[in-house]
Amino acid sequence: MGLIDTHTHLDFPDFDVDRPALLANARALGVQRMVVLGVHQANWQRVWDLVQSDDQLYAALGLHPVYLDEHTPGHLTDLRDWLARLVGHRQLCAVGEFGLDYFLENLDRERQQTLFEAQLALAAEFDLPGLLHVRRSHAQTIATLKRFKLKRGGIIHAFAGSYEEAREYLKLGFKLGLGGAATWPQAVKLRKTVARLPLEAVVLETDSPDMAPVMFAGVRNSPEHLPQIAQALAEVMGVEVSALSEASTANACHLFNWDL
């Protein structure tokens, strides 16, 4: 079993010019499965159509906090309808992407919280993991997750918190998504935290087309970069890349109930 890219936006128009070739190349490089995350109601159909075209692509559907102003209360009803219709389908793997973004100051925090809790409730109702976007909001996210314990946990995508926060998430049944951010030598604090994480804590991701790693600075990120990201992260963690690859794939398979 190869690597798993647990966080991509492969439905974005950035990939319209070469998506099939990119997928074939990613497989040739050992990246077998990829998760594509819906971010707002208008892109769920596109995400679903994409994963239906390839049996090793998996979908998560959610309402991302960065698109807060686009979401309406009706979209939560729509999300519930989508999940009710697709739950049990092998290619629906989670609710996401959703969460709290306190970095962008124009995003109303109360409305974010309402949306966050409503989607945690949907993850619990449909017994799905939650794939979370958490920026500058770890304390609030952890406090909320303690009230809404998800039986299947989930992933803190692009984790950039402290070691203590990492431990809280692990206790709550969450894995930490690592990708391009920790490949940058400037990310001193994050690299120190990553170096202390146990292999059981980690899943790999690219967040394509965003979050380019240092070796592909300034270019569109792609699942094709995941093997080199894994290599760089293994060096930061002080483990063999084979150990990180095996553990991260096993962690993702366990989380999503996939066969190894």
Question: Is 206:37 a contact under the CB 8 Å cutoff?
Answer: no
Minimum CB–partner distance for residue 69 and Zn ion (Å): 18
Minimum CB–partner distance for residue 259 and Zn ion (Å): 26
Q: 206 or 251: whose CB is closer to Zn ion?
A: 206
Q: 33 or 234: whose CB is closer to Zn ion?
A: 33
Q: 97 or 101: whose CB is closer to Zn ion?
A: 97
Give the CB-nearest residue to Zn ion. Answer: 97
Minimum CB–partner distance for residue 158 and Zn ion (Å): 8
Residue window 92-121: x/- pattern of binding to Zn ion, with contact defined by CB under 5 A = -----x------------------------
Q: Which residue, 16, 165, 35, is CA-closest to 97?
A: 35
Query: 82-96: b or e for each residue (b if 16 or more CB lie within 10 Å)?
Result: bbeeeeeeebbbbbb
Minimum CB–partner distance for residue 67 and Zn ion (Å): 11
- Using CB under 5 A as the binding rule, the residues of this chain from 116 to 175 that contact Zn ion are none
Q: In what order do the strands lie in the sheet with 3-8?
A: 3-8, 31-37, 57-61, 92-101, 130-135, 154-157, 174-178, 202-204
DSSP per residue, 46-105: HHHHHHHT-TTEEEEE---GGGGGG--HHHHHHHHHHHHHHTT-TTEEEEEEEEEE-SST
Question: Is 207:34 a contact under the CB 8 Å cutoff?
Answer: no
Q: 204 or 234: whose CB is closer to Zn ion?
A: 204
Q: 229 or 234: whose CB is closer to Zn ion?
A: 229
Considering only 17-25, 90-98, 177-185, 236-244, which stretch makes contact with Zn ion by CB under 5 A? 90-98
- Sites of contact with Zn ion (CB under 5 A): 97
